[in-house]
């Protein structure tokens, strides 16, 4: 629980600069737990706080933890160059809060992308020491053979890696479909592993991170949701 002035609270939730937040409050655009409050110096308890800004309700959150169903043709980089950035799929407040992707998916990869403004969480989730399994559905240009599966499970050498990288799990799901589970998150890892094994990845989708399945979130492509404590706990695997 913490008590802060209303202008600071609004700024912390991504509604803009302190000056702009003060104007919003003085203009009567902000309600605290349903009651309009036009004095920006008012000290408010953040516990169970619900703000109404321009008639839209926002629960106070110290940090946000989000899952986005990333569509193709969006970039995860901070300064996207060829396609719109994934942040354009979220409310503008999240850009102000400096929400960022946890790791990256290629612009043409679809599926689950975690996003947060909690630095230690982002760091812990992306740490190579963490070994969180990530589940991918790959479509291959050439048919999936038993030899391909065996190679991916046995380990393939990528040219800039000191040792071969192996899939934790690799299962043929169709003539050109493969489910592959990786615990590392190297650059273009699935595509490079498939290429090193003599095939080519023509489409890629991330269906789960740890024990959290994208399908359990009920999202359509381009949609996002907050993750609760139980869902965050599943990320550990
Ligand atoms: N591996 C890839 O090759 N691309 C991704 O986007 C994720 C994993």
Write out the chain's pLDDT in tens, 237 residues: 689 999 999 999 999 999 999 999 999 999 999 999 999 999 999 999 999 999 999 999 999 999 999 999 999 988 888 999 999 999 999 999 999 999 999 999 999 999 999 999 999 998 877 889 999 999 999 999 999 999 999 999 998 899 999 999 999 999 999 999 999 889 999 999 999 999 999 999 999 999 999 999 999 999 999 999 999 999 976
Alpha carbon nearest to ligand 1 atom 3, residue: 188
- What is the reported pLDDT for 148? 97
Report which ligand 1 atom has the smallest distance to the Cα of 105: 6
**Residue ranges per domain, the chain?**
3-59, 65-128+212-234, 133-209
- What is the reported pLDDT for 1? 66
- What is the reported pLDDT for 217? 98
CATH of domain 133-209: 3.30.70.1560
Report which ligand 1 atom has the smallest distance to the Cα of 106: 6
Alpha carbon of 207 to ligand 1 centroid (Å): 12
- What is the reported pLDDT for 27? 97
- What is the reported pLDDT for 237? 65
Please determine whether the domains at 3-59 and 133-209 fall in the same fold group of CATH.
no
Q: Which CATH class is domain 65-128+212-234?
A: alpha beta
Alpha carbon nearest to ligand 1 atom 4, residue: 188
- Smallest Cα–Cα separation from 201: which of 109, 107, 77? 109
Report which ligand 1 atom has the smallest distance to the Cα of 192: 3
pTM: 0.94
Give domain 3-59's CATH architecture. Answer: Roll (3.10)
- Options 7, 27, 45, 106, the catalytic residue: 106
Phi and psi torsions of 123, nearest 5°? -65, -45
Cβ contact 60:49 at 8 Å: yes
CA dist 24 → 16, 20, 92, 192 (Å): 10, 6, 16, 50
- Per the rule left: phi > 0, alpha: psi between -120 and 50, beta: everything else, 66 is beta
Active site (annotated) includes residue 106: yes
């Amino acid at each position: 629980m913490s008590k802060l002035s209303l202008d600071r609270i609004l700024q912390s939730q991504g509604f803009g600069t302190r000056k702009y937040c003060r104007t919003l409050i003085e203009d009567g655009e902000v309600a605290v737990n349903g009651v309009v409050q036009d004095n920006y110096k008012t000290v408010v308890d953040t516990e169970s706080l619900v703000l109404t800004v321009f008639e839209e309700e926002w629960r106070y959150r110290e940090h946000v933890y989000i899952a986005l169903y990333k569509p193709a043709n969006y970039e995860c980089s901070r300064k996207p160059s060829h396609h719109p950035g994934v942040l354009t799929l979220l409310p503008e407040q999240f850009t102000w809060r400096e929400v960022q992707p946890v790791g990256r998916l290629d612009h043409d990869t679809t599926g689950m992308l975690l996003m947060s403004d909690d630095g230690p969480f982002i760091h812990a989730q992306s740490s190579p020491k963490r070994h969180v399994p990530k589940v991918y559905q790959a479509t291959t240009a050439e048919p999936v053979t038993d030899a391909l599966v065996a190679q991916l499970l046995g380990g393939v050498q990528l040219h800039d890696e000191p040792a071969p990288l192996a899939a934790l799990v690799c299962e043929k799901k169709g003539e050109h479909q493969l489910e592959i589970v990786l615990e590392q998150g190297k650059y273009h890892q699935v595509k490079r592993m498939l290429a090193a094994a003599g095939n080519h990845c023509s489409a890629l989708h991330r269906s789960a991170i740890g024990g959290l399945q994208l399908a359990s979130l009920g999202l359509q492509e381009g949609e996002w949701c907050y993750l609760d404590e139980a869902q965050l706990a599943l990320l550990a695997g």
